[in-house]
Structure 1
Amino acid sequence: MNADRPQIDYYFSFISLWSYVGSLPFQDLVRRTGAEVTFKPIDLLAVFAAGGGKPVKERPKQRQAYRLVEMQRWREIRGIPLVLQPRFYPANPSVGHRMVLAAIREALDVTGFVHAGLKAVWADELDIAAPETLVALADANGLPGRRLLEQAWEDTALGETEASLTREAVDRLLFGAPFYFYRGEPFWGQDRLDLLERAIVEGTEPIPFDPS
């Protein structure tokens, strides 16, 4: 970690729609600002539950309908492929998350793999819980997919790390994804990336986050 570079904590899940929508713009922001990112995969459904949220299919029909409108808007704005009702949603992303953590432990760059995992769910209609899918995505992004998969299966420490990050997210009062933290200030959602970049570039004083 380079203390001279802006440091961003990035909480995400492979099954997070808005993490996918904001994935490439977030990469662009990182390049422009020279920021260093700490990738933090979390159990999104557990975070929903802790924050009073509900999985998509349990939300009121009004919210489900409006979500589809927003998906189409942002698909056009971002210029990305996006399937409104993906075939393998929600799949269990835990093994993929643990592969990300295994790669981070080896000091490998997970940027491409994280985007590929998000795109797999929301654009390519791949099963992110399928081992061969995960290996192929990792390999395509310069990572040793088979080795990372074996670690994700066999090393219980990786599962403990994912659980710890989820507890950390709950303790930091997250209620969804993506969440970005810069100098302790939270930015929720891909539509807050402009505000995150402003905080980095202008050096504004962090706004305290303490609902108590």
Structure 2
Amino acid sequence: MAHIDYYMITLSPFCYLAGDGLEKIAAKHGATITYKPVNLFQVFAATGGVAPADRHPARQAYRLQELARVAKHNGLPINLKPAHFPTNPAPSCFALIAAQNAGGGDIGGLSHAFMRACWAEEKDVAQDDVVRACLEENGFDPALADSGLLSGAETFERNTEEAIQKGVFGAPMYVVGDQMFWGQDRLSYLDDYLSEQS
């Protein structure tokens, strides 16, 4: 059975624009997924990337055009300049890690809920009430927002270090063995690869 390590962050618009494509591909191939939230700014710093706000104006302008095109193509609503971006990703990332460890709910749904809150619903995923609502809506105990803080923080740091060591440089990044697929527009390549392995 194939396994996918999914390096992501709950604030990434391109993770949001992947929709449930990863989950559908995993279900199709009977693959498992580990959601691995990372400190993307630390990943950028270690691998030569540049945070969006620090990019050349031409790159910033193109990014907005691309986000609008991908959102339209994928039928997803998007606010190109959300009220709460950037914000502190730690609370939602820690909660995602805690929920994955606890099990029993829809982890893919939770991941999407956080990103949809930021990019389509004008909610701040750094706020406790938003984090708790997303947990509850996806079948998890909202108290994980508190109880999972320590383990979530430790795992978040480990995920980030692991990502850098493996050569991850952006998000979303889907890793199967030694094969890496960067970007929501590479999901079809991931699908093809998993088909070849079966």
| TM-score normalised by structure 1 residue count | 0.89
Q: Give the distance between the partners of 2:152 and 2:139, measured in 1 at CA.
A: 21
Q: Give the distance between the partners of 1:75 and 1:201, measured in 2 at CA.
A: 27
1:39 and 2:35 are equivalent in the alignment: yes
- 1:92 paired residue number: 88
Deviations 1:101-150 (A, max 9, x none): 112222334111111011111111110000000001111111111x2011
Q: Give the distance between the partners of 1:107 and 1:184, measured in 2 at CA.
A: 27
1:75 and 2:60 are equivalent in the alignment: no
**Aligned partners of 1:92 and 1:128 also within 8 Å:** yes
1:59 and 2:61 are equivalent in the alignment: no
Q: Give the distance between the partners of 1:36 and 1:104, measured in 2 at CA.
A: 12
One-letter code of the match for 1:24?
D
The alignment of Structure 1 onto Structure 2 pairs a total of residues equal to 197
Shift of 1:152: 3.1
**Aligned partners of 2:171 and 2:182 also within 8 Å:** yes
1:142 and 2:139 are equivalent in the alignment: yes
Q: How does 1:1-212 map to 2 (within 5 A)?
A: 5-108=1-104, 109-145=106-142, 147-153=143-149, 156-203=150-197
Secondary structure of 1:23's match? coil
Secondary structure of 2:76's match? coil
Deviations 1:9-56 (A, max 9, x none): 001001111111113222221222221101101111111111111111
Q: Displaced runs of 4+ in structure 1, greater than 4 A?
A: none
Q: Give the distance between the partners of 1:87 and 1:122, measured in 2 at CA.
A: 9
Q: Give the distance between the partners of 1:92 and 1:82, measured in 2 at CA.
A: 20
Q: Give the distance between the partners of 1:171 and 1:17, measured in 2 at CA.
A: 24
One-letter code of the match for 2:80?
L
Q: Give the distance between the partners of 2:32 and 2:178, measured in 1 at CA.
A: 15
State the superposition RMSD in angstroms.
1.3
Q: Give the distance between the partners of 2:37 and 2:158, measured in 1 at CA.
A: 10
Q: Which moved more, 1:195-204 or 1:118-127?
A: 195-204
Q: Give the distance between the partners of 2:138 and 2:100, measured in 1 at CA.
A: 14
Q: Give the distance between the partners of 2:89 and 2:178, measured in 1 at CA.
A: 27
**Aligned partners of 1:88 and 1:121 also within 8 Å:** yes
Q: What is the percent sequence identity of the aligned residues?
A: 35
Q: Give the distance between the partners of 1:128 and 1:104, measured in 2 at CA.
A: 17
Q: Give the distance between the partners of 1:105 and 1:27, measured in 2 at CA.
A: 18
What residue ranges of structure 1 are gaps of 5+ in the alignment?
A: 205-212
What residue ranges of structure 2 are gaps of 5+ in the alignment?
A: none
Whichever of the two has the greater Rg, that structure is 1
**Aligned partners of 2:98 and 2:151 also within 8 Å:** no
Shift of 1:160: 1.2
